[in-house]
A and B are shown apart, each in its own frame.
Chain A
């Protein structure tokens, strides 16, 4: 392991939003990761971060950088997702009017994460929480 970082994301914290993704981007730049990979990680990380702020009760983003790949783990303490197939469907969203007015709630976040990560795994349990593990090859 070359680098590990754990960042907290609070529920409803829109004004801080993007700060975890920003930190991750800065670190990957310092580590000399290619801009192509940084772009993918930034997109997936931001979507994950915003989902924590909007839909979860709070959670963590864990960045682990190895020699050949890096992983981004996004996990929260609830409420969990009832139907993962539905949640992964582009365009499906439970976002309320307030966040929709801010431009969230297109139902594209999980879809984007899946698309940009080289490997994407999501598990969720109602009452327990959601965990997403994304892997990105460093090429």
Chain B
């Protein structure tokens, strides 16, 4: 599944679509403790987290994640978005909760 396929669903919105959304989501990871994510998340994943500060982009970029998904309508910090544009990481927001996001990813075969 590509990021663009996920964005076709009305529940998801990309905050920085100008960077391109053709990346392929190969797996998923959920977590808010950065050291756990750092140690365990795979490259090419969609990372679901309620953290919204600039460090999530550092983590996503170092691990070569495909995108970051922020659930439950949490507001993403401006500095994080600026960094996400530089680092080429799509930041996607949704009002769904993390479980509902995973269900959609799972149903899409991820």
Contact = CB atoms under 8 A, between A and B. Distances in A.
Interface of A: 14-15, 17-19, 21-22, 25, 39, 42-43, 46-47, 50, 102-109, 112, 115-116
A107 B64 CA distance: 23
Given A15-B79, A106-B33, A115-B39, 13 more contacts: A14-B54, A17-B55, A22-B61, A25-B62, A42-B62, A43-B39, A46-B59, A47-B38, A102-B53, A103-B37, A104-B34, A105-B33, A106-B36
B43 A39 contact: yes
B35 interface: yes
Contact of A103 (B33, B39, B43): B33
Nearest to A53: B55
A108 B62 contact: no
Contacts of A102: 34, 51, 53, 55
A43 B55 contact: no
A47 B37 CA distance: 11
16 contacts: A18-B55, A18-B59, A19-B58, A22-B62, A25-B62, A39-B64, A42-B62, A46-B38, A50-B55, A102-B51, A102-B55, A103-B32, A103-B51, A104-B35, A112-B35, A116-B39
A18 B35 contact: no
A109 B35 CA distance: 6
Q: Chain B interface mostly helix, strand, loop or mixed?
A: helix
A51 B21 CA distance: 33
Nearest to B60: A18
A50 B33 CA distance: 13
Contacts, number: 71
A20 B24 CA distance: 27
Given A46-B38, A102-B51, A112-B38, A18 B33 contact: no
Contact of B53 (A14, A19, A22, A39): A14
Q: Which of B37, B59, B61 has the most CB of A within 10 A?
A: B59
B89 to A, nearest CB: 12
A108 B37 CA distance: 10
B86 to A, nearest CB: 10
A14 B54 CA distance: 8
A118 B60 CA distance: 23
A46 B33 contact: no
Most buried by B among A18, A21, A102, A109: A18
